[in-house]
Amino acid sequence: MSKTCLIIGASGEIGSSTVLSLVKKGYSVGLQYHSNAKSIDKLNKNIPHAQRLGFFQADLSTDEGIRSFINMIDSDWDSVVFAGGHLWKGLFQDMEEADMDALYRVHVKAPWLITRHLLPSMIRNREGNIVVVSSLFGEEGASMEVAYSAVKGAQISFVKGLAKEVGPSGIRVNAVTPGLIATKMNEELSEEEFGAVEEEIPLSRAGRTEEVGDAIEFLLSDRSSYITGHILKVNGGWS
């Protein structure tokens, strides 16, 4: 019987690459997305029918959306990947409370509540895997992205603490922290700005979304069976 994985934020570029990486390894997948139905339709064409466990539309930036999503899904999954999220860029003092609340719900509250929903089954089965897509900025912090850095840092602490708590039940909890990845999120950078960042990276290039997806697949696999509470940097040596 194939392993099952619930991917949160499956319509994003890193989420989509993760889905494809897992499907190639035989996983059956359930996909959560917010509004990018076109991306989900495209993914659907690359997932064999037998490996589709559902497509769940939900806005995780609201308490109602989080509750609605949890009510949609079964609690019995072998693994979950939290790849969803959004960025708020600007001066800290210009940020509205509503913007901070939305960041907190998507990056912190939703993973917490969804994990709480899934854990009882994992504990009964004495196995399970949780992977969170955090960020380099969660470790290093970033000017103009203070709130984003804060919620990403919270994810890292969540992973480290939860790994210690559920390890005795056979559940592993890890995170990846991507650096500069070639995604639409970084298209606001000019070619000159993008190149300047690449010059700071020892491998002298941006990462590819499939490289992040493959790192996540590794953390879910038996090849990483003695790894938990780990923050895997996928950043070309940038930090």
Which residues are part of the catalytic machinery? 148
Of the candidates 77, 181, 80, the residue with the CA atom closest to the CA atom of residue 131: 80
Of the candidates 82, 76, 81, 83, the residue with the CA atom closest to the CA atom of residue 1: 76
Question: What is the chain's alpha carbon radius of gyration, rounded to the nearest angstrom?
Answer: 17
Complete DSSP assignment for 115-170? HHHHHHHHHHHT-EEEEEE--HHHHH--TT-HHHHHHHHHHHHHHHHHHHHHGGGT
Coil, strand or helix: which one is 176? Answer: strand
- Dist. CA 32–CA 35, nearest whole Å: 10
- Dist. CA 24–CA 26, nearest whole Å: 5
Phi, then psi, of 187 in degrees rounded to 5? -70, -15
